Amino acid sequence: RNGLVHFRMVDIPIVDDEDGVVRYAQTPPEVFSHLKNYSVKGRSIIASDGNDGSVEWTLRICTSAMAAWCIDLILDAIIYVLDEIPNGSLKDFIIKAYAARDKSFVHIFQKGKSEVELWINGLYSK
């Protein structure tokens, strides 16, 4: 997470490769190889590295599928936490504070899941 979220371009060292070409280089965080297994509607969340491997990992994570996957994942986490709060005044307060205007959803996070699904279907329905 830290490698992805707190990444800054100034953190990329400039190296001189064996052919004397100066280029940016950074080793991807360990989680990067694990993320290659995830997809959204059959689309990998990590873009191809090109035939010669010249596309930096920081650009390969800039996909619509990655954005959709991240938003969907965080909504799942929020909903899980809300569901696990014991019934009582705290849970009632939180549910009321985050109630959706559309009464077919308990809270805005369920509404968000629905909207992300519509967005994903729109992105990849072609």
CA-to-CA separations, 36 to 94, 100, 122, in angstroms, rounded = 36, 34, 23
Task: Give the DSSP H/E element, type plus range, for residue 43.
Answer: strand 43-44
Task: Tell me the per-residue pLDDT of 72-87, one tens digit each, with 9 for 90 and over.
Answer: 999 999 999 999 999 9
Rounded to an integer, what is the distance from CA 64 to the centroid of its chain?
9
Task: Tell me the per-residue pLDDT of 44-99, one tens digit each, with 9 for 90 and over.
Answer: 999 888 766 677 777 888 889 999 999 999 999 999 999 999 999 999 999 999 99
Output the pTM of the full model: 0.74
Annotate 10-37 with DSSP letters as a single string. Answer: GGSPEEE-TTS-EEE--PPPTHHHHHTT
Residues above pLDDT 70, as percent of the chain: 75
